[in-house]
Amino acid sequence: MSKRFTDTDKWKKGFIRGLEPAYKLLWLYITDDCNHAGIWDVDIEVAALRIGIPLDQQKALSQLGNHIKVFDDGKKWFIPSFIEFQYGTLNPSNRAHNSVIQTLSKYQSLSPLVSPLQAPSLGAMEKDKEKERINELNESEGILKGLLGELYHRRDSTKWGDKEIKLLKVVAKRADILTEFGEIKKAWNSGWQYHRKDIFTLLGNWTGEVDRAREFMAPKEQTETIRPTKVCL
Query: Which residues neighbour 20 within 8 Å (Cβ) at sequence distance 6 or greater?
Result: 63
Residue 120 has pLDDT above 80, yes or no: no
Annotated domain spans of the chain: 10-117, 124-217
Length of the chain: 233
% of the chain residues with pLDDT over 70: 81
What band does 68 get if pLDDT is binned at 50, 70 and 90?
very high
Give the pLDDT of residue 223. 47
Give the pLDDT of residue 48. 95
What band does 132 get if pLDDT is binned at 50, 70 and 90?
confident
Residue 222 has pLDDT above 60, yes or no: no
Centre a 10 Å sphere on the Cβ of residue 123 and count the other Cβ atoms it contains: 10
What's the one-letter identity of residue 15? F
Task: Supply the pTM of this predicted model.
Answer: 0.50
Distance CA 168, CA 148 (A): 10
Nearest one of 98, 128, 109 to 68, comparing CA atoms: 109
